[in-house]
Structures are given as C-alpha cells and as structure tokens.
C-alpha cells in the first residue's frame, strides 16, 4: 500500500485559516528572546573581558576588539539558537501542552458512536488536525472494512503538507493486525514532530486500531450471518425439492395403488396380490428415500456408534493400509456440530490416504483439551505434492473447520508422509479436561486397530 497521499481533501471540509493569532504570539516571543540573547551575549563578553584584563572601566567603555568578539559569538550561535527557540515556542504555543490528552478522550467518544468508518474517519482527521494544530492529517483504512459495499482502501485527509515539512507515518494496528496508516505532516519545513507529538499520535493510532478492528468484526459478523442464512435457505430448498420431487410422488403413487388393491381384492384377488407386490417394492423405495434424507441431515453412524465407532466404520474391511485409531476412552459427550465436522474431516482424510498416499500405515489421533478437539491423520506415504491444486475435498475440510471457528493444517512430515491436523473449538466443552494439545498431559491414548490388518 502506497504511503503517499492518494486523494484530494474532502470538499465538505472548512478551509484552513491562513492567519492564526498563535503565529503572531510565537513570532513576537521569538523576537524578544533573540533580542535578549544578543544583549546578554554582548554584556557577557564585556564582563569576561573586564575580568581577564583587570580593567573594570572597559565595562562602561568597551574597546573595539570586545565588540568584534561579541559579534562573532552572536553570529556563530544565532542560527542554531533561533531554530531551537522556534521549536520550543511552537511546542509551547501550538501543541497545547496543558490539555493535549483530552483529544484522546474526545476521539474515544467519537469512535464509540461510529456508525461506519466512512462516516467517522473524516471527523476524526479534522479533530486531530485542529487539536494538535497540524497542517496535514491523512488516515488510510486497509481493505476488509466492506462498509456500504465499498471493499477498497478508504483514504481521508485534511489540509495539505507544508512545503518541506517531513511526514510522520504511524501504523494503525490491533492484536498484531495491520488495519491502516496515520500520516501527519510537520508544522514547518525541516522540522519533524516532537517526541511528545509522536507519543500522543501513537495513542490516537491505538484508539483508531481498536475502532477499526471492531468495525471489521462487525462486517465479518454480518457477512457470517448472511452466509449462514443463505446456507440454511439453500439446505431448506434442497430438502423441499427432495421431498416434492422424490418422496411426495412416491407416496401419491402408493395411495393410488392402495385404492386399486381395495377395488380388486374381492373380484380379482390374483391381480390384487400382484399389485401388493409392487406396493411392497414402492414402500422399500420410499423408506430408502427417507433414510437418505435423514442421512444428509446427520450421519446415522454418529448416533448408532458414537464418534469413535463411526470413524472405525470409515476404514474399509480389506485394505493394504494398517489404520491405528488413538483416542481417549471413554469419549465424553461432544457438541453435535463438532462431532459432525470431525467425522466429515476424518472421512475425507481417510479417503485421500487410501486413494492418493501410497502409504502402508495411517495413524488417526483424537485428543480433547479444555477448549478444543484435535484431530490428526498422518501417514507414511509420498506426501503432498508441492504443486497440488486445492481440490473439493480439501476445500470441504477447511470450510467445515472454519465454520466452527477452528483451523485445518496440511503439511508434509520431515520423515516422509503427509499430516492433516484439525483443531475444532468446543463451545460447550465438558468441565475437567486438560489444557490444549494433541497429547494432553495425563491423557493416555488408547489404540484401536482393525483386527484384519497387520500391525
């Protein structure tokens, strides 16, 4: 992201005043101090000359050489002293030392009422420029704050940099996340901001970071809600279509067949019996369709065998790969969403090991911590290719972990083979579990090995 200003000052900003009483006050004070310095320097040279020569009369009638020495001293020190005095006076007159940190309080009040960064940041830039008497303030908010459907970087600036004045750039961040940049211009050419100015602006940048982070969380929360609503409605539409196009016609056909059988039972029993055989087959199809719909809602293996038993059912009875399952026994009750995600991720990982790894052994580990479930699937095969494209299965595993606020990592082991590690947060974790980790202290894993496979 470029740090140079990229936008014109907003047209709704009031024009900056060209005359300021503080400038006249500072200039007058500077002139008085410089004049006093010249007089004190001349008097000091004369007094030192009188002490060195022992002639006190030269104080009232200095010789020409003392005038030359005094003039040389003033000439050599006048320019650096003028710069130092000018900076000190500017800090005293312009920086408002007595109530500077009131700006942080006003900014905090403004940001707490922020409806959106696009509406609040221009006002924040004006407040910084006005309170600190800065000629130029520029706030850049990074992408990710998709407020008002505008995902691009947002720039807001007040004024123009003074000619020759250095620019100071302070990052706007929160929790090690870069959220933007605060750029301010010095008050005069060749004069950077003081340490006090930079400390105060650092506090301002931290306040902005907290506000922008909260705004980003709000945007992410809204996007997540919209995604959940869309996913829920898509799932409802899919189930409706399955019921309408599959199960409903089947049940209607069964109703017609029952009516026909009722009419034929007395006059043509043989034909009625033949229709009953067809009705029996239709009932089997309807039952299978209902089971399919139920299985799509939640894997029945989880209800029948639990998470560990359901994962064991994923391993084929005859395979060249020896599968080991290590998990705590007994497995405590888990949230339904965590169980489904772990089951689906394990199923996809086992499928990839069987089809693509070329491995001879595969280890599946489940570990519980106080706030998360860890699932690891590792093998001794050829590992992941460096140029392997992200497939549907990998995307599905990542999405299932992300939906719960967890993470999924795929990596190659140094000794060969691949490793899939999923961490799923336990929103309703049972009490008394150990701290996080795949092998929590004191939790001895129990191996479950298929009886028809070699060790």
Tell me the average pLDDT across 254-280. Answer: 81
Residue 450 has pLDDT above 80, yes or no: no
Dmax (CA) for the chain in angstroms is 154
Label residue 318 exposed, middle or buried (CB < 10 Å: 0-12, 13-18, 19+). Answer: exposed
- Report the percentage of the chain scoring pLDDT > 90: 5
Look over the chain and give the mean of its residue pLDDT values, rounded to a whole number: 76
Q: pLDDT band at residue 249, thresholds of 50, 70 and 90? A: confident
Strand extents, DSSP E, 52-176: 136-141, 154-159, 167-174
- Give the per-residue pLDDT at 373: 92
Looking at per-residue pLDDT, the higher value among 407 and 222 belongs to: 407
> Quick one: tokens of 206?
């931290």
Comma-separated ranges of CATH 3.30.450 domains in the chain: 114-297
CATH class of 304-449: alpha beta
Q: How far apart are CA 99 and CA 344, in angstroms?
A: 60
Angle between helices 117-132 and 102-112 (to 10 degrees): 170
- Give the per-residue pLDDT at 439: 42
Q: Are 442 and 436 in contact (CB under 8 A)?
A: no
Which is it for strands 177-185 and 322-327: parallel, antiparallel or unpaired?
unpaired
Closest CA to 130 of 3, 22, 4, 6: 22
Tell me the average pLDDT across 269-282. Answer: 81
Q: Sign (positive/negative) of CA torsion 119, 214, 183, 196?
A: positive
Pick from 38-52, 185-199, 360-374 the range whose average pLDDT is largest: 360-374
Q: pLDDT band at residue 40, thresholds of 50, 70 and 90? A: confident
Q: How far apart are CA 162 and CA 23, in angstroms?
A: 15
Residue 16 has pLDDT above 80, yes or no: no
pLDDT digits (tens, 9 = 90+) for 54-76: 777 777 778 888 888 888 888 88
- Give the per-residue pLDDT at 245: 75
Kindly list the strands in the beta sheet with 361-368, ordered across the sheet, starting from the edge strand earlier in the chain.
Answer: 407-412, 418-425, 372-379, 361-368, 322-327, 446-449
> Quick one: tokens of 366?
């489940």
Residue 3 has pLDDT above 60, yes or no: no
- Give the per-residue pLDDT at 146: 45
Closest CA to 132 of 83, 86, 199, 180: 199
Which distant-in-sequence residues (6+ apart) come within 8 Å of 57 by Cβ?
A: none
Comma-separated ranges of CATH 3.30.565.10 domains in the chain: 304-449
> Quick one: tokens of 302?
């989880």
pTM to 2 decimal places: 0.48
> Quick one: tokens of 132?
């600190």
Choose the weakest-confidence range: 16-30, 281-295, 334-348.
16-30
Looking at per-residue pLDDT, the higher value among 447 and 130 belongs to: 130
Q: Report the DSSP beta bridge partners of residue 324.
A: 363, 449
- Give the per-residue pLDDT at 437: 40
In DSSP notation, 199-245 reads: HHHHHHHHHHHHHHHHHHHHHHHHHHHHHHHHHHHHHHHHHHHHIII
Residue 110 has pLDDT above 50, yes or no: yes
Closest CA to 359 of 383, 386, 375: 383
Residue 402 has pLDDT above 60, yes or no: yes
| Helix (H/G/I), strand (E/B), else coil: 98 | helix
Q: Are 211 and 111 in contact (CB under 8 A)?
A: yes
Tell me the average pLDDT across 355-382. Answer: 88
Looking at per-residue pLDDT, the higher value among 101 and 300 belongs to: 300
Q: Are 321 and 354 in contact (CB under 8 A)?
A: yes
Which distant-in-sequence residues (6+ apart) come within 8 Å of 321 by Cβ?
A: 353, 354, 357, 359, 360, 361, 362, 379, 453
Label residue 39 exposed, middle or buried (CB < 10 Å: 0-12, 13-18, 19+). Answer: exposed
- Give the per-residue pLDDT at 342: 92
Q: pLDDT band at residue 428, thresholds of 50, 70 and 90? A: very low
Name the strand (E) or helix (H) holding 348: helix 336-352
Tell me the average pLDDT across 330-356. Answer: 88
Give, in order, the Cα–Cα distances in Å from 157 to each of 111, 183, 186, 444: 17, 9, 15, 60
Tell me the average pLDDT across 22-30. Answer: 71
Choose the weakest-confidence range: 73-77, 190-194, 426-430, 436-440.
436-440
CATH class of 114-297: alpha beta
């Amino acid at each position: 992201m470029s740090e140079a200003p990229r936008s014109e000052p907003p047209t709704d900003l009031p024009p900056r005043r060209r005359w300021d009483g503080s400038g006249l006050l500072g200039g007058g004070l500077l002139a008085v101090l410089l004049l006093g310095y010249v007089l004190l320097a001349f008097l000091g040279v004369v007094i030192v000359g009188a002490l060195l020569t022992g002639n006190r009369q030269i104080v009232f009638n200095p010789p020409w050489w003392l005038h030359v020495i005094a003039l040389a001293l003033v000439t050599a020190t006048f320019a650096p002293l003028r710069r130092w005095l000018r900076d000190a006076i500017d800090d005293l007159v312009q920086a408002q030392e007595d109530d500077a940190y009131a700006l942080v309080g006003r900014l905090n009040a403004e940001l707490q009422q922020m409806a959106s960064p696009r509406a609040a940041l221009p006002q924040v830039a004006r407040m910084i420029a006005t309170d600190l008497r800065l000629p130029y303030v520029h706030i850049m908010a990074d992408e990710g704050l998709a407020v008002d459907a505008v995902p691009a970087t947002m720039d807001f600036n007040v004024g123009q940099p003074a000619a020759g004045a250095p620019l100071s750039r302070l990052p706007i961040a929160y929790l090690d996340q870069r959220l933007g940049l605060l750029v301010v211009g010095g008050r005069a050419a060749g004069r950077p901001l003081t340490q006090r100015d930079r400390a105060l602006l650092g506090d301002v940048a931290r306040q902005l970071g907290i506000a922008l982070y909260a705004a980003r969380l709000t945007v992410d929360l809204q996007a997540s809600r919209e995604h959940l609503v869309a996913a829920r409605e898509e799932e409802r539409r899919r189930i409706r279509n399955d019921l309408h196009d599959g199960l409903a016609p089947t049940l209607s056909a069964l109703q017609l067949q029952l009516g026909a059988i009722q009419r034929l039972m007395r006059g043509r029993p043989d034909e009625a019996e033949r229709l009953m055989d067809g009705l029996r087959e239709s009932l089997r199809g309807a039952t299978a369709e209902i089971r399919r719909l139920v299985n799509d809602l939640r894997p029945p293996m989880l209800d029948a065998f639990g998470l560990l038993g359901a994962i064991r059912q994923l391993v084929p009875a005859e395979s060249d790969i020896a599968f080991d399952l290590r998990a705590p026994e007994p497995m405590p009750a888990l949230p339904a969403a965590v169980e489904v995600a772990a089951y689906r991720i394990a199923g996809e990982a086992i499928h990839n090991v069987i089809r693509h790894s070329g491995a001879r052994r595969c280890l599946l580990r489940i570990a519980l911590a106080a706030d998360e479930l860890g699932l690891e699937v590792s093998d001794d095969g050829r590992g992941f290719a460096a140029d392997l494209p992200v497939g549907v299965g990998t995307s599905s595993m990542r999405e299932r972990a992300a939906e719960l606020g967890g993470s999924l990592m795929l990596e190659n082991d140094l000794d060969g083979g691949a490793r899939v590690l999923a961490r799923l947060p336990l929103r309703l974790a049972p009490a008394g579990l150990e701290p996080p980790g795949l092998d929590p202290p004191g939790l001895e894993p129990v191996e479950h090995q298929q009886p028809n496979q070699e060790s």
